[in-house]
Amino acid sequence: MIRYILFDLDNTLYSAKTGMENDFQRRIIAFTSRFLGIPGEEALARRQEGITRYGTTIEWLIGDNGFTAIEEYYAAVHPEGEEEVIPPDPQLRLFLKSLGVPLAVLTNSPREHADRVLAKIGIADLFTHIFDIRWNGNQGKPLPAAFTRALDALGSGAGNTLFIDDAPRYVQGYLNLGGKGLLRDELGRYPDYLHPKIRELPELTRYL
């Protein structure tokens, strides 16, 4: 029986069609290019290779490049006003309230980004916990500790906590712990994904 639902934030609690992810991905590459002193295309290629070994860009910059300006990075990637591309979603609010199960968020983004996005959608008050990248010591999904620390704080086990994310490797990280995970594949990007997936959040009720 599912006793808690743990949501990813970006492209999970709002539509991937908003373009929010594309915006902050461009800012990530621009920041990486400046920091490494290399052209944007090379920064993109190096980042794509690097994050296969890490959960997040910040972990790769720290681990492979001696990066220390963590707060400067977060401010550059997630500036104020970035959330304006996301519309309020009163229907999502009604749906989440109807679930009758406690809800929490686990994101690889910083807390200020999560707060702004959740407030813009109109659902900020519906979550008992918001676990951000700083809370996890700047180490994110899919590291097992990112999940287990959140579960410990919730007082819930992986087996009775449903986790929903738009990134297959993050869901896989949770499944590897014996958890129940769902991929939100809104745009049909992962036709060969072998585990349960949904396109829209209301479909998750089948897995409660």
Query: What are the pLDDT digits (tens) for 40-59?
Result: 999 999 998 988 888 899 99
What is the predicted pLDDT for the residue at 120?
A: 97
pLDDT average, residue stretch 194-204: 97
Position 181 scores a pLDDT of: 97
Same domain for 45 and 147 = no
Please count the structural domains in the chain: 2
- What percentage of residues in the chain have a pLDDT greater than 70? 100
Is 49 found in the same domain as 100?
no
pTM here is 0.95
* Per-residue confidence (pLDDT) for residue 161, from 0 to 100: 98
Q: What is the pLDDT of residue 52?
A: 86
If asked whether residues 201 and 158 sit together in one domain, one would say yes
Q: At what angle do helices 57-65 and 20-36 cross, to 10 degrees?
A: 10
Q: Is the pLDDT of residue 208 over 90?
A: yes
Evaluate whether 145 touches 136 at the Cβ level (below 8 Å). Answer: yes
In 3D, which of 102, 202, 89 has the Cα closest to residue 162?
A: 102
Q: What is the pLDDT of residues 130-177, one digit of tens each?
A: 999 999 999 999 999 999 999 999 999 999 999 999 999 999 999 999
Mean local confidence (pLDDT), 13-34? 94
Residues facing 4 on adjacent strands:
161
State whether 123 and 28 are in the same domain: no
pLDDT at 54: 87
User: Using N-to-C axis directions, what is the helix angle for 20-36 and 70-77, rounded to 10°?
Assistant: 140
Check whether residue 186 and residue 160 sit in a common domain: yes
What CATH number does the domain containing 96 carry? 3.40.50.1000
Mean pLDDT of the chain: 95
pLDDT attached to residue 99: 97
Least confident of 64-73, 109-118, 164-173: 64-73
